[in-house]
């Protein structure tokens, strides 16, 4: 019966060599994480190399597609819209567990607001509306293009979609609230330049909130 030759002690790697190899492998893994994995998978580019290699845009697209797929999935609506909901007072428009996320904006029942978005940056504005309320709106970008999603939410309804679009420069129409709650727009700049979004609203609402 043949037995493999057992290596001699001087043929085995030393403890120092093993430690050095481990540290080298860890260092290489950290470099790959910062320069390839984070930009390509999550759009996070701490070194700036991911943008040069075109990986950062890939990661941003993946994140956006995941976000849009989640919105397109009807299972994201955790509960059906209640048949009857009590009138929500103005002070209850902001849910207590999201107060820190919402930035109130001083906007009248008919007003215009503009804001800038860097490439890949997103913004979301919601109106506090009662069921059946109607708001006329018009928004546009001065250059480039954006993806947008018009939706609403309230207690018991995480997401209720009205409309959405990709690579759009303008949209207008009327938004009729399907229930008491918050209703509005989500934009993400999908061009390679800074864009200015201008939103004009008028109608039946009691407050406007910058959510994102």
Each residue's pLDDT, cut to its tens digit, for the chain (212 residues) gives 555 566 555 566 778 777 888 888 888 878 877 777 776 677 777 777 767 777 666 666 666 666 655 554 444 444 444 443 333 333 333 333 333 344 444 445 677 889 999 999 999 999 999 999 999 999 999 999 999 999 999 999 999 999 999 999 999 999 999 999 999 999 999 999 999 999 999 999 988 888 88
| Ramachandran bin of 70, using left for φ above 0, alpha for ψ from -120 to 50, beta for the remaining angles | alpha
Dist CA 167 CA 146 (whole Å): 5
Helices (H), the chain: 15-32, 38-42, 49-53, 55-72
Ordered by where they begin, the domains of the chain are 14-69 (no CATH), 82-91+98-210 (2.60.120.680)
How high is the pLDDT of residue 93? 36
Dist CA 157 CA 87 (whole Å): 16
Q: What is the pTM of this model?
A: 0.52
Structure-token pair, residue 54: 């075109």
């Amino acid at each position: 019966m043949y037995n493999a030759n057992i290596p001699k002690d001087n043929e085995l790697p030393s403890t120092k060599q093993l430690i050095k190899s481990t540290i080298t492998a860890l260092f290489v893994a950290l470099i790959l994480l910062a320069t390839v994995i984070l930009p390509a998978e999550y759009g996070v580019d701490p070194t700036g190399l991911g943008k040069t290699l075109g990986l950062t845009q890939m990661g941003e697209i993946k994140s956006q597609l995941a976000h849009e797929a989640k919105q397109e999935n009807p299972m994201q609506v955790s509960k059906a819209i209640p048949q009857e909901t009590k009138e929500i007072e103005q002070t209850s428009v902001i849910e207590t567990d999201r107060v820190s996320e919402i930035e109130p904006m001083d906007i009248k029942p008919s007003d215009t607001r503009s804001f800038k978005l860097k490439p890949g940056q997103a913004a979301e504005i919601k109106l506090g509306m009662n069921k059946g309320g109607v708001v006329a709106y018009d928004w546009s970008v001065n250059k480039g293009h954006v993806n947008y999603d018009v939706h609403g939410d309230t207690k018991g309804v995480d997401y209720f979609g009205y409309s959405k679009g990709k690579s759009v420069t303008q949209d207008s129409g009327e938004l009729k609230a399907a229930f008491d709650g918050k209703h509005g727009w989500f934009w993400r700049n999908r061009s390679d330049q800074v864009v200015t979004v201008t939103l004009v609203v008028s109608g039946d609402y009691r407050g406007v909130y910058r959510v994102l």
